[in-house]
Amino acid sequence: MQIGNVLGIGLMLAHAWASAQTAQAPSPLSLDEARAQRVRGKALKGEAEARYEADKAACHTRAIAIGCMSSAKERHAESVKEANALEQAGRKAEREIRRSEVEAKAAKRAAEAPAEEAKQKADVERYREKEAQRAAERERSRAEESKKLEARRGKAAAERAAQQQKLAARSQEDAKRAAKAPGNASKKAERERQHAERVKKIDERSRQYAETLKRREAEEAARQAAAAAAAAR
């Protein structure tokens, strides 16, 4: 069978399929199906172009190619028409589906608007209640802080009064000691002298100990150096 006849039969079958599809009531398509239909229509146009080029090549091999070319052009035009129809139908279905989705979303928003508005109002009321509770809590905290501050002030005043009493008592004690100062001064001077002597003796013992320790360290260092020199020989 020649290539032209095979392609002709294929075009007849495609035309019959398209006619049957057109005769039937269009079923709802999903977005993916509509997109696939558009892509299929575009692919069919590519196949129609390929068939047309094959038909032209086949016609050129015949002695009389005029009728062959006319038939090839007709088949090409019909195939392109059907492919365009399929592609356009897919595009239209995509637009309709998207429009329906947009309308559905708008309808859903409109239907949910009262509930959403009620929810927002409830949220606002809850927020106001929480803010009122926070404000009351802040006011209570401020009152407690003010109460604590007054208590601290009272405690500080009492402490200052007690301190002043202690200072007054100490001043009295100082006055009494001052009255006894002539006798106490000599005793104090003697205690200080004895303390100075003890400190001096302690310093002297510390100095002697430091010198002894330093001498011993020097002797030990010399001993180690001598041992090291002997070992080196």
Which of the two residues, 203 and 230, has the higher pLDDT score?
203
| Residue 70 lies inside a defined structural domain of this protein | yes
Over residues 83-98, mean pLDDT? 82
Per-residue pLDDT at 57: 80
Query: What is the pTM for the complete model shown?
Result: 0.34
105 plus 199 within the same structural domain: no
Asked, for residue 159, whether it belongs to a domain, the answer is no
> Which residues fall within 8 angstroms of residue 115, CB to CB, at 6 or more apart?
none
Q: Is 13 within a domain? A: yes
Q: Note the pLDDT tens digit of each residue in 54-66.
A: 877 888 777 666 7
- Residue 53 clears pLDDT 70, i.e. is over it: yes
Q: Among the three residues 79, 111, 143, which one is the final residue of a domain in this structure?
A: 111
Tell me the per-residue pLDDT of 29-46, one tens digit each, with 9 for 90 and over: 777 887 787 788 888 888
Greater confidence, 108 or 5?
108
Percentage above 90 pLDDT, the chain: 4
- In a domain? residue 65: yes
Position 127 scores a pLDDT of 92
Examine the domain organization and report whether 16 and 106 are in the same domain.
yes
pLDDT digits (tens, 9 = 90+) for 5-17: 434 444 444 444 4
Kindly state whether residues 99 and 9 are assigned to the same domain.
Answer: yes
Q: Are residues 13 and 106 in the same domain?
A: yes
Are 56 and 1 within 8 A, CB to CB?
no
Q: What residue numbers bound the domain in which 94 lies?
A: 3-111
Domain termination residue (choose one: 91, 111, 131): 111
What total of structural domains would you count in the chain? 2
Last residue of a domain, one of 69, 94, 111: 111
